Amino acid sequence: MSEGKESKLSIVLSTAVRAAAMCLGALALGWGVTLTEGLGASLFGAVFGVALGERLARSRVKLSAILGGTAALWLLCWALSKFATAFTTIPALMGAGNALATAVLLRFGALMFCSTLVLRVLASRKRNLVVLELAAVSAAVVAVFATHRDGVLVRPLWLSDWAWSVGLEPVQVLLGVGVGSVTILAVLLIVQNRGSRALSALIALIALGILAVMTVNAVGLPAPTAENDLGLLTPPGEPPRQQPPRDAGDNGTGQGQDVVEGDAGEGQDSGEGDGGRGDDSGQDDGGGAADTGASDGGGGGAPDAGEDGGASGNDGGEDGGSSSAMEDGGDGGSSSAMQDGGWEDVPISPSSYSEGGEGGNGTPPPRPPSQDLESERQQQQQQRSSPMAVVLLDDDYTPPSEAFYLRQVAWSQFNGTRLVPTTRPENDRDIPQGYPTEAMNLPERPSNTGRTLVHHLVALVTEHNNPFGIEGAFHFEPARNPNPTRFVRAYRVESLAQSIEYRRLFGRRSGNPRWTPEQRAYYLEGPTDPRYRRLADTIINTIPQQRRSDPFSRAVAIKLWLDDNLIYTTRARHASATDPTADMLWGNKRGYCVHFAHAAVFLWRSVGVPSRIGSGYHVDAQNRGSSSTVIVKSSDGHAWPEVYLEGVGWIVLDIAAKRNEDPPGQPQDEDERDRLGQMAREQPPDPQQPPQRPQQQQQRNRAREMAQAAAKAFPWLLLLGLLALYGVKLWRRLVPLFTKGAALARVAYRSALDVLAEAGIVREYGETREAFARRVREQIPSLELLGHEAERVKLSGASPEPPDAQKLREAVANVKREVSLAKPWWRRTLGLLHPASWLDVD
Amino acid sequence: MTMDTPGADFENSPHITRTPAPPITDLNGAWGVVERFRNRIRMAVRGRDEVIEIVICALLADGHVLLEDYPGSGKTTLAKALGDCLIDDQPDDIIVTFRRIQFTPDLLPSDVTGTTIFDPNTHKFFFRSGPVFAHIVLADEINRTSPKVQSAMLEAMAEKQVTVDNRTRKLDELFFVIATQNPLDLAGTFPLPSAQLDRFLFKIKMTHVARDAELEILASAAARKHNVGSDLPRVTRTEVCDARKVIETQVHVAPQVRECLVDVAQNTRKDPRVLQGASTRSLVLAMPALQARALMNKRNFVSGEDIAALSGLIFGHRLEVAPGVDSVDSVLRDCMREPLERLARMAMQR
């Protein structure tokens, strides 16, 4: 009696363990797809499915009946769940939420119940099919990892959050869960199957494991790297870290332009940064490279805070005393943001910075933990540059400056320290204010002279505050998002881009004749420091007499002088000076694009050349190559000086310092360019879809992609399954022809039973083989010999006499003949077409 | 000895021989024994082929059978035919081939076992053997006698020995009891307790003879009076014993078959309809029976079919079912189904 109890206990135990493994699988699959109700339902479904499957497998119910019944149940539940939400009556009766919950409960519960039940019954009745069960759980776990590959892990949030909170790597935790569930099943498999079958199953398991590792590729990838396949480091909803815009110019090196904005926001940069500037302008500043409030703070602000802190700490290192409170704040803001390599997004609101700045205007700036570390990090970040947008050119256009200037904002208003975006509506009317909701023309359109019409499409990889286009843009209109999983939005731009050669610009008058005197004065306003005028005059005096009055000649002369005399480096720090531009110009002459642009504009303005700073992206025309795709990267952020010439409008006249102290940037990845370009050209699946928040959108997109893929794959899977069934059938039919030795008895008998099963003649549950043969003896007399031989080989000791192959094959042929005599042709044809008739043979 | 002497009948009887038959060493020889029994008994008893098979099976399995049937259904004819098949090749011992005991309430144990009698000539007691000293004993209406006699009989069956006057005497190795009882006429009977029923390997419930067989019985009645088929070959005692040994050693019992048998027994113990399940002794007894049946079906291995066919006979009288349960057979069928299915599927597994 105790034995019976024990075996019962072991059955209960193994069922419980199986149920647990199935639950893990259900969780793994359900996490990303369903709600809490659905998860609960799938858990219950898995448990009951395993329990009932175990029970059914031990019952006398035919396998085909179980499979058919389960399929019917699933269809019923599916139809019910559809029904619950398809009509208004049920939601009206029980409330929309309840109806939805019911539908989810039915759908997921029934799905898990039916699938686990079928798997369990199959595995229990046909021992070899245990592999199916194992594969299902493994696949579920693998699916989880596949969605978490490359370290981009999202779900289950509670698990990964917990893992983070206790300092574990979530990938490893998930890996542990997966390995655990598969191990449980594997151990069960080995315990319940002795001998060669367990071995073969183990080999299959190992193969599955290798497959899993290949699919997941999670091992060795615990730390999220800056780039995934597309260089897009985007945990859903978070824009990638924005690099400090880079002064590529001719130097082509990355630079931290954002320092200015960051400084300004912090109010620590007393020179270029304007401590007294309002929060709004600070945010807009950030828009030059960084866009949303969060990304401004995190992307643009945080590293800059660190850098600046570092710089000014360095500068003021002799001061020695930096307030520890501030230091902590600065460190917290910068280092935590950066050390995790891309997970930075510590929301630092510009307003808080400016408050801090205002409050502590005179206090020493925060200092980073280590200057060296800071710069190392900075360099690393410069090397990692992620795409921000894709520009598709419809017209062939090569700018005379050999670089695409994608203008987002313009800084023209002098606030006493530096230039900021205008606050007056009549100025800079060629700058778009926000994204187009419909086709819109900007109030100011450049003249056609010296300019060519360029149509292009901009697809944003990360959200920006303001649209941008090739300089000279006058028309914006919204466009379909070509690939919502990659791009956050897209719009079309028409630009009248500069086509006139620079040398043909000489001799033109500066400014627009339609400008009011106030406007002209606005574009000439600069610092009162007389040194600017003096320096500008000195420079202009070096050019030939007849050219000295020509505004463009003056501008070019100053540009060339700046090219020769300034030294490019992103490590330059002038934020602590009252006038950072002067600090640079008459100091160490080291700086980057923002400093240079300010220097140029201040010098130009001092000699009466109307000018402003354009900010946005600068992409080397070489990067485009022969393709029509221009990839805009975070490292392309830039600010450049522009002059206004009569007839042609704003002309970019960038400063390209000849001396550069920064390491060269990374070359353009052409594959990446083509890939992204391809994506941007694709037609969107659903053009009507309203723009959503990126996280939701990505989730929905993922779910929809999965659903679509499943729908697409379903008929093929069905066909594949059908083919597999027919394949097994054919194999079982043919294998007696070439089997030798003792095994022939079994396979010959099996093929005879297959033939009988097709004709609907099957052994009853609990019926012995002899009894079965006796029952059908009238119709199928040849079966007896086959059954006897099969049993003899199995039961008559270790080395049974091999059966007479000739006789067995004859008997099989006889069985076929006898069946064809006993059953009508249509019944046999029906059986022949039945793909799973052999499942009833056991 | 001549034909005139009183012992001449005995000496000339076809049931004794002094020349040993060639020994039986393989399954073919054992099969020959089975065939000879079968042919002879079938000639004598018509329409009872199944029972004949079971009886031969029990004989080869060294077990006893209890026939439960109505009067006049051929029990005695069967037992006698079986006895008629045997040849005693050790005619000089006190054991004869066949004896019949008609049990009555006033029977005494010594009537069964024999008793010591005082011989006034020698002034000594000598043992006069009872009817159990035979190869085949027909214990007719065993439930009609008192438990005392029953227990004497049952000791002989279980131990193959009798104890008279504190002296234990061995019975022959081939000691086979066919007991009968009437299932209906139970007035004044002493039903066998289950412990004693356990000593019977099989309890056979005979049913009425089918119509065709009955017709044949009537048609052949006259012929059978004249010993039709008496010239068919018989079997010697030693041959039966040899066949038993051959069967025990040469018919293979796969471990899965043993598992199946044990599972059936376990299931009977677990079944709520059963008060007392199959005993372990019954399983031990069952093994040779399964082997014998396998041989009789021309197999050198025991299959699930043997278990299915014999379980009812082996376990039927050993199970005590709860009140209200109709038949032991249906309970047994339920208990057998799952182990048999597993055994049957095993044959299809690699």
Segment B123-144, tens digit of pLDDT: 998 888 889 999 999 998 888 8
Please list, residue by residue across B68-94, b when 16 or more beta carbons sit within 10 angstroms of its beta carbon and e when fewer do: bbeeebbbbbbbbbbbbbbbbbebeee
Beta A451-460 vs A489-498: how paired, if at all? antiparallel
Best mean pLDDT range from A28-42, A252-266, B30-44 = B30-44
User: Considering only CB atoms, which chain A residues are within 8 Å of B299?
Assistant: 788, 792, 796
pLDDT band, very low/low/confident/very high, at A507 (cuts 50, 70, 90): confident
User: Would you kindly state where each structural domain of chain A is located, as residue ranges?
Assistant: 1-125, 127-223, 285-379, 727-840
User: Considering only CB atoms, which chain B residues are within 8 Å of A765?
Assistant: 337, 341
Mean pLDDT on B238-243:
91
pLDDT at position B7 is: 64
Interface test with A, best of B305, B330, B333, B349 (most A CBs within 10 A): B305
Asked if the model's pLDDT at residue A466 lies above 80, the reply is yes
Q: Look at residue A642 and give its three-state secondary structure.
A: strand
Q: How far apart are the first and last CA of chain A?
A: 30
Interface test with B, best of A55, A795, A796 (most B CBs within 10 A): A795
Nearest to B300 among A743, A750, A796 (CB): A796
Asked if the model's pLDDT at residue A358 lies above 50, the reply is no
Using CA atoms, how far apart are residues A767 and A761, in angstroms rounded to an integer? 13
How high is the mean pLDDT of chain B?
Answer: 86
**Phi/psi zone of residue A477: left (φ > 0), alpha (ψ -120 to 50 degrees), beta?**
beta
Peptide bond into B183 cis (omega under 30): no
Best mean pLDDT range from A443-447, A661-665, B272-276 = B272-276
Beta B134-140 vs B96-102: how paired, if at all? parallel
Asked if the model's pLDDT at residue A406 lies above 60, the reply is yes
This complex has an ipTM of 0.85
pLDDT at position A677 is: 74
Tokens of residue B8, six digits: 């001449």
Asked if the model's pLDDT at residue B60 lies above 90, the reply is yes
For residue B340, how many C-alpha atoms fall within 13 Å in the half-sphere facing its CB? 26
The strand ranges marked E within A487-636 are 489-498, 567-568, 590-591, 611-620, 629-633
Using CA atoms, how far apart are residues B259 and B271, in angstroms rounded to an integer? 18
Chain A from 219 to 248: CB within 8 A of any B CB? none
pLDDT band, very low/low/confident/very high, at A662 (cuts 50, 70, 90): confident
Nearest to A771 among B300, B308, B348 (CB): B308
- The 10s digit of each residue's pLDDT in A483-498 is 787 788 888 898 888 8
DSSP string, B184-245: S--TT--PPPHHHHTTEEEEEE--PPPHHHHHHHHHHHHHHHTTTTTTS--EEHHHHHHHHH
A11 interfaces chain B, CB cutoff of 8 Å: no
Using CA atoms, how far apart are residues B169 and B38, in angstroms rounded to an integer? 32
Single-letter amino acid, residue A318: E
Q: How far is CA A74 from the centre of its chain?
A: 34
Question: Is B303's CB within 8 Å of A795's CB?
Answer: yes
pLDDT at position A212 is: 58
Instruction: Name B341's bridge partners.
Output: none
Interface test with B, best of A794, A799, A841 (most B CBs within 10 A): A794
A8 interfaces chain B, CB cutoff of 8 Å: no
Higher pLDDT, A519 or B1: A519
Chain A from 78 to 137: CB within 8 A of any B CB? 127
Mean pLDDT on A56-62:
82
Single-letter amino acid, residue A146: A
Tokens of residue A188, six digits: 């069960």
Alpha-carbon distance B143 to nearest alpha carbon in chain A (angstroms): 33
Fold of the domain spanning B251-346: Helicase, Ruva Protein; domain 3 (1.10.8)
Question: Is B349's CB within 8 Å of A127's CB?
Answer: yes
Asked if the model's pLDDT at residue B74 lies above 50, the reply is yes
pLDDT at position B288 is: 94
Mean pLDDT on B267-275:
89
Using CA atoms, how far apart are residues A673 and A231, in angstroms rounded to an integer? 11
Mean pLDDT on A183-212:
62
Instruction: Name A611's bridge partners.
Output: A643
Question: Is B269's CB within 8 Å of A1's CB?
Answer: yes
Asked if the model's pLDDT at residue A17 lies above 70, the reply is yes
User: Would you kindly state where each structural domain of chain B is located, as residue ranges?
Assistant: 14-243, 251-346
Asked if the model's pLDDT at residue A343 lies above 80, the reply is no
Q: Which CATH architecture has domain B14-243?
A: 3-Layer(aba) Sandwich (3.40)
pLDDT band, very low/low/confident/very high, at A137 (cuts 50, 70, 90): confident
Mean pLDDT on A592-616:
88
pLDDT at position A32 is: 62
Using CA atoms, how far apart are residues A413 and B252, in angstroms rounded to an integer? 106
User: Considering only CB atoms, which chain A residues are within 8 Å of B256?
Assistant: 794-795
pLDDT band, very low/low/confident/very high, at A462 (cuts 50, 70, 90): confident
For chain A, the residue count is 842
B250 interfaces chain A, CB cutoff of 8 Å: no
Alpha-carbon distance A764 to nearest alpha carbon in chain B (angstroms): 9
Mean pLDDT on B213-226:
81
pLDDT band, very low/low/confident/very high, at A752 (cuts 50, 70, 90): very high
In terms of Cα–Cα distance, which of B111, B76, B71, B60 is closest to B241?
A: B60
User: Considering only CB atoms, which chain B residues are within 8 Å of A196?
Assistant: 350
DSSP string, A716-774: HHHHHHHHHHHHHHHHHHHGGGT--TTHHHHHHHHHHHHHHHHTT--PPTT--HHHHHH
Single-letter amino acid, residue A738: F
What are the backbone angles phi and psi of residue A88, rounded to the nearest 5°? -80, -20
Higher pLDDT, A90 or B50: B50
Using CA atoms, how far apart are residues A261 and A305, in angstroms rounded to an integer? 10
pLDDT at position B349 is: 79
In terms of Cα–Cα distance, which of B215, B187, B243 is closest to B56?
A: B243
Tokens of residue A612, six digits: 């402003």
Q: Is the distance from CB of A767 to CB of A775 less than 8 angstroms?
A: yes
pLDDT at position B294 is: 93
pLDDT at position B228 is: 64
pLDDT at position B339 is: 92
pLDDT band, very low/low/confident/very high, at A203 (cuts 50, 70, 90): low
In terms of Cα–Cα distance, which of A561, A601, A564 is closest to A581?
A: A601
HEC string for A31-60: CCCCCHHHHHHHHHHHHHHHHHHHHHHHCC
pLDDT at position B202 is: 92
Nearest to B305 among A4, A750, A770 (CB): A770
Cβ contacts below 8 Å, chain A against chain B, sum to: 82
pLDDT at position A270 is: 38
B159 interfaces chain A, CB cutoff of 8 Å: no
A807 interfaces chain B, CB cutoff of 8 Å: no
In terms of Cα–Cα distance, which of B197, B179, B206 is closest to B278?
A: B197
Mean pLDDT on B42-47:
85
pLDDT at position A205 is: 64
Single-letter amino acid, residue A667: P
Mean pLDDT on A92-119:
84
In terms of Cα–Cα distance, which of B74, B99, B72 is closest to B185?
A: B72
Please list, residue by residue across B268-288, b when 16 or more beta carbons sit within 10 angstroms of its beta carbon and e when fewer do: beebebbeebbbeebbebbbb
- As to burial, measured by CB atoms within 10 angstroms (0-12 exposed, 13-18 middle, 19+ buried), residue B210 is exposed
Single-letter amino acid, residue B100: R
Nearest to B304 among A197, A765, A768 (CB): A768
Q: How far is CA A173 from the centre of its chain?
A: 21
Alpha-carbon distance A753 to nearest alpha carbon in chain B (angstroms): 10
Q: Is the distance from CB of A279 to CB of A351 less than 8 angstroms?
A: yes
Instruction: Find all residues with CB under 8 Å of A711, minimum gap 6, and list them.
Output: none
Q: Identify the closest residue of chain B to A795 by CA–CA distance.
A: B254
User: Considering only CB atoms, which chain A residues are within 8 Å of B308?
Assistant: 768, 771
- The 10s digit of each residue's pLDDT in A720-748 is 888 988 998 899 999 888 888 888 888 99
Is the CA virtual torsion A58, A61, A65, A68 positive or negative? negative
Mean pLDDT on A609-636:
84
pLDDT at position A26 is: 79
User: What does each C-alpha distance from A514 to A82, A426, A430, A471, A641 come to in angstroms?
Assistant: 67, 12, 15, 21, 22
The strand ranges marked E within A52-189 are none
pLDDT at position A256 is: 36
- The 10s digit of each residue's pLDDT in B202-215 is 998 877 788 888 88
pLDDT band, very low/low/confident/very high, at A668 (cuts 50, 70, 90): low
Asked if the model's pLDDT at residue B105 lies above 70, the reply is yes
Beta B64-68 vs B176-181: how paired, if at all? parallel
Vertex B327 angle, CA B323 and B333, to 5°:
125
> Which of A83-92, A110-119, A190-199, A287-296 is least confident?
A287-296
Asked if the model's pLDDT at residue A614 lies above 70, the reply is yes
Q: Is the distance from CB of A704 to CB of A692 less than 8 angstroms?
A: no
A56 interfaces chain B, CB cutoff of 8 Å: no
Tokens of residue B211, six digits: 């119509």
Question: Is B348's CB within 8 Å of A842's CB?
Answer: yes
Q: Is the distance from CB of A211 to CB of A620 less than 8 angstroms?
A: no
Q: Look at residue A278 and give its three-state secondary structure.
A: coil
Instruction: Find all residues with CB under 8 Å of B188, minimum gap 6, and list them.
Output: B105, B144
B102 interfaces chain A, CB cutoff of 8 Å: no
pLDDT at position A232 is: 41
Using CA atoms, how far apart are residues A503 and B281, in angstroms rounded to an integer? 117
pLDDT band, very low/low/confident/very high, at A221 (cuts 50, 70, 90): very low
pLDDT band, very low/low/confident/very high, at A285 (cuts 50, 70, 90): very low
Using CA atoms, how far apart are residues A263 and B236, in angstroms rounded to an integer? 120
Q: Identify the closest residue of chain A to B307 by CA–CA distance.
A: A768
User: Considering only CB atoms, which chain A residues are within 8 Å of B301?
Assistant: 791-792, 795-797
User: Considering only CB atoms, which chain B residues are within 8 Å of A788?
Assistant: 299
pLDDT at position A33 is: 67
Mean pLDDT on A571-595:
83
pLDDT band, very low/low/confident/very high, at A258 (cuts 50, 70, 90): very low
Q: Is the distance from CB of A606 to CB of A526 less than 8 angstroms?
A: yes
A58 interfaces chain B, CB cutoff of 8 Å: yes
User: Considering only CB atoms, which chain A residues are within 8 Å of B269?
Assistant: 1, 4
Question: Is B347's CB within 8 Å of A842's CB?
Answer: no
Asked if the model's pLDDT at residue B190 lies above 60, the reply is yes
Q: Is the distance from CB of A469 to CB of A409 less than 8 angstroms?
A: no
How high is the mean pLDDT of chain A?
Answer: 72
For residue A726, how many C-alpha atoms fall within 13 Å in the half-sphere facing its CB? 8
